[in-house]
Amino acid sequence: MRQRLIVCNWKMHKTAAEAAVYLQQLSALVPRADPIEVVLAPPFTALHVVGQSSGHPFGLAAQDLFWDDTGPYTGEVSAPMLTALGCRYVILGHSERRQLFGEDDAGANKKVRAALRHGLRPILCVGESLSQRDRGDTENVVRGQLLRGLEGLSKEESRTVTIAYEPVWAIGTGRAASPEQITATHQTLRSTLANSWGSETGEQVRILYGGSVTPDNVSAFLASAEVDGALVGGACLDPHSLAKIVACAQSSQR
Ligand code: PEP
């Protein structure tokens, strides 16, 4: 049985001092995350606040990395730097990286491999644009992003990856996908994983939904057996709102 996972993408929000206050508030509201897993992904500058404070039940993720370990890459951060701060996960291929910073599937693949080399678990984001959905291309788009993003991974490596299905048109818009749309796309992703890396990978990889998830709609998404959790952006910035999402995930635990 796949453990439910809620990943909180803070994007470019909160200073280190604000992160410390948030962590204190959230820890009071969510003293235990069991039986689900809750992972916080603050900006690079606040990773140490979450990574170095003990006594909370949250895991730590980075929002990106660069594929080489060291070198002349001004502004970049590598996998060993992230593991040294206590990161266990890293979000890769987010649509904002793809749209605003020109990231492509080949780059996401190099980052996935770099993460795995250092024991970091990649959370690979895939998702179609509105015009791609309107053209009926959703399946082809997400299947292609998945296969290119995970190209070259062994069966063992593929099982440690998490996939986040995030339709571009649903991110930060208040217009979430419907449970039916999500279920259909997750089925496509899971069958692609099973066909390419075997049935164990198909069964074990967690597939999250992301895109305007809120305390009001998360239960409807988690009601689908195809949805293993959520990647939450805007709604996780308020600890009260995130605590409600976690409570919904805990009470809908399968
Ligand atoms: C995201 O950043 O991955 C995301 C899903 O954002 P939001 O929840 O704000 O749509």
State pLDDT tens for residues 220-233.
Answer: 999 999 999 999 99
Q: Percent of the chain scored above 70 by pLDDT?
A: 99
3-state secondary structure of 231: strand
Catalytic residue among 56, 103, 166, 186: 166
Q: Is the CB of 217 under 6 A from ligand 1?
A: no
Tell me the mean pLDDT in the region 140-155: 98
Mean per-residue pLDDT over the chain, rounded: 97
Total structural domains within the chain: 1
For residue 25, the domain's CATH number is 3.20.20.70
Q: Is the CB of 212 under 6 A from ligand 1?
A: yes
**CA within 13 Å, CB half, 106:** 1
Q: Is the CB of 95 under 6 A from ligand 1?
A: no
Tell me the mean pLDDT in the region 42-60: 96
Nearest CA to ligand 1 atom 2: 233
Residue 181, pLDDT > 90, answer yes
Range of the domain at 69: 5-252
Tell me the mean pLDDT in the region 45-52: 97
Rounded alpha-carbon distances, angstroms, from residue 117 to 21, 80, 107? 33, 9, 15
DSSP 8-state assignment for residue 237: S
The answer to whether the pTM exceeds 0.85 is yes
Residue 139, pLDDT > 80, answer yes
198 alpha carbon to ligand 1 midpoint, in Å?
A: 30
Told to judge if 186 belongs to the known catalytic residues of this protein, a careful annotator would answer no
Contacts of 18 (CB under 8 A, 6+ apart): 46
Q: Is the CB of 215 under 6 A from ligand 1?
A: no
